[in-house]
Amino acid sequence: MTGTLDGRTYREVRDSVIRAALEEPRAVLVDVTALSVPSESAWAAFTSARWHVSIWPAVPIVLVCAHQAGREAITRCGAARHLPVHMDVRAAAQSVDDGLGFRRRANCELTADRTSLPRSRELVGHWLTQWDRQAMIVTASTVATILVENAIVHTVSRPTLRLETMDRRLTVAVHDGSPQLPARRENADGSADAVSGLAIVAALCRAWGANPMPGGKAVWAVLVPENRL
């Protein structure tokens, strides 16, 4: 990055890092050597970006700064507690290789109709069987069905189902072409007749959320072994 990081550019810098992470690379390395930061508090743009993607897609964000003064400023303001900072790209890339666990990913674009519901369950079962995670098939299939159905009902786009597993954590995500973020519905009458799909997702997973993406959004849920049914 070049230019000046201040109150006027804070959001632009933060959002550019978030967008890069949402493309799901192995990591995002940001070279800030040529970035001018008049106020050290502005380094929080990078810690804010990390917070937005820390649960999903959980992509590491690593800073690179070739001069010691910049690294010291990043450390003084506290950003280094949340974001590693290295003196060159090679060291930054090596830190990513050393810190990442074994990650598996799979995705498939589905049709914009209800035939995608059994197809999503079939895919989840196939992928998790390949990854030897059969114990999570029922929970993950339930979550995937709800997220895919929401995309079909509330958007006019073809959803893409994604699964990712790393260590004990399994992430189910559905991308669609609508920028409208989902909202969990609550029934004021307390009736059990109408249950929000997202309420079921919330009950089944460790955490869930939605991230805007270029051309739409991704709705995701993170599952751990304790969530298996």
Q: Please give the angle made by the CA atoms of 11, 26 and 67, to the nearest 5 degrees.
A: 60
Q: Please check whether residues 140 and 90 belong to one and the same domain.
A: no
Residue 102: Cβ within 10 Å count = 7
Q: Please check whether residues 9 and 35 belong to one and the same domain.
A: yes
Q: Please give the angle made by the CA atoms of 102, 158 and 169, to the nearest 5 degrees.
A: 20
What's the pLDDT tens digit per position in 80-124?
988 999 999 999 998 887 766 677 889 999 999 999 999 999 999
What's the pLDDT tens digit per position in 205-217?
999 999 888 789 9
Q: Please check whether residues 84 and 35 belong to one and the same domain.
A: yes
Cα–Cα distance for residue pair 125/130, rounded to 1 Å: 9
Count of structural domains within the chain: 2
Q: Please check whether residues 222 and 118 belong to one and the same domain.
A: yes
Collect the ranges in the chain with pLDDT lower than 50: none
Which domain, by its residues, includes 81? 3-99
Q: Which two tokens stand for residue 93?
A: 């890339």
